[in-house]
Amino acid sequence: MTTLGESCQFFNGKAHEKVIDAEGQFVVVNSKFISQEGRVLKFTGKQMFPLYEDDIVMVMSDVPNGKALAKCYIIEENDKYSLNQRICAIRTTEFNIRFLYYQLNRHPYLLAFNNGENQTNLRKGDILNCPLWKPPLDIQEQIVELLDETLEQVNSAESNIVSNINNTEKLFQSKLNELFENEDEDWDTKTFKEVCSVITDGTHQTPKYFDSGYIFLSSKNVTTGKIDWENIKYIDEAQHLKMYKRLKPQKNDILLAKNGTTGVAAIVDVDKVFDIYVSLALLRPTETIYPYYFLHFINSLKAKKQFNKRLIGVGVPNLHLKEIKEVVISFPKSIDEQVKIANYIDELIEFRDSLKDTYQNKLENVRELREAIFQKAFTGRIINQEQSITV
């Protein structure tokens, strides 16, 4: 065992805020560059602190429970990078660089300085005291060879699982598009204003919240298909009475997020008295539309494409009521047929969610496997065992 300070050189970066230049020839190595594996770039024309091939750079500062703290990156070429402040560079001749990278990246000793409440700022002394396992160089090389081969399999498995999760959603949305597209004479096509008796939004007043009182919902309480009743806020009676002119939601109304995260809708499936904010639109379907059929259409990719074309404003996306009214929906004229389609979609959603849960469990298992491999690698056990992965 050794420490980083005993076996490596440590260097602090320098502030680049005043020399950022989109046309500059040097890449600024900051926390975003490292956390995104070199995919997010800022440039400078002035190399404040030159970096060299095989330097290891590491993030020294991050928000509570952040994913970038102590994350490392290996510099792959000379005369291209400049080290920013709150990032350190580590150089050594006593380690195989990939061995040191594998061991140092998100090292548990360094992560332990994060208390989960305040921003973590690793000090130079903290980093220099980081304990490291330093076997002979030939053993380091053997371990790196094993880790490279094994992690290639793990990363491939992880990539395949993520693709499966994404493909599950794509297949689901593709099926929805089929269900909502029909030109038979038994189907009709109308705008939202033609199939709703009411299209309005919530109060435009900025509410003052209390620990109890009347339930008040915003777009943050609307997820795809359901209302989040766990994280609700409350207004007092005076505010509730001021909002009397605003229509109160009732059972089977649709609440559509129209500010921020747009195109996400939930159905009011309970009898409760509550008020809503302007970030929500209230849609009350007429008897020509089965509420759950309407809900599934609004949450489909087919509807979202229409919403996205109608967004107004710069910065925070916004759906105006007049734009919502012009969105087009196709539906069977028969309510019974609408019910059948809605029930079938419910079954598809249940199957999709079950499949995603299965893949998510596999993903967690693969990530746990990666952690187990590193634990073995840096306790001296991996070198004596043949490693194989089956996913």
User: Mean pLDDT for each 10-residue chunk of the chain (391 residues)?
Assistant: 95 93 94 93 94 97 92 95 96 95 93 92 95 92 89 90 92 89 87 96 90 92 89 91 80 90 86 90 96 95 90 80 95 95 95 93 88 73 45 35
The predicted pLDDT at position 244 comes to 65
Task: Give the residue from 305, 173, 203, 200 showing the smallest Cα distance to 254.
Answer: 200
In contact, 272 and 298? CB cutoff 8 Å: no
Contact 211, 281 (CB under 8 A): no
Q: Going by CATH, does the domain composed of 187-333 fall within 3.90.220.20?
A: yes
Give the predicted TM-score (pTM) of the model: 0.69
3.90.220.20, 3.40.50.720, 3.10.580.10, 3.40.228.10: CATH of 2-134:
3.90.220.20
**From the CB of residue 28, how many other CB atoms can be counted at a distance below 10 Å?**
24
Q: What is the pLDDT of residue 373?
A: 81
Q: Does residue 294 contact residue 339 with C-beta atoms inside 8 Å? A: no
- How far apart are the C-alpha atoms of 156 and 230, rounded to whole Å? 38
CA 68: distance to chain centroid? Answer: 15
* Sign of the four-CA dihedral 269, 270, 271, 277: negative
**Ranges in the chain annotated CATH 3.90.220.20:** 2-134, 187-333
pLDDT at position 69? 95
Q: What percent of the chain has a predicted confidence (pLDDT) above 70?
A: 95
Q: Which residues contact 361 (CB under 8 A, 6 or more apart)?
A: none
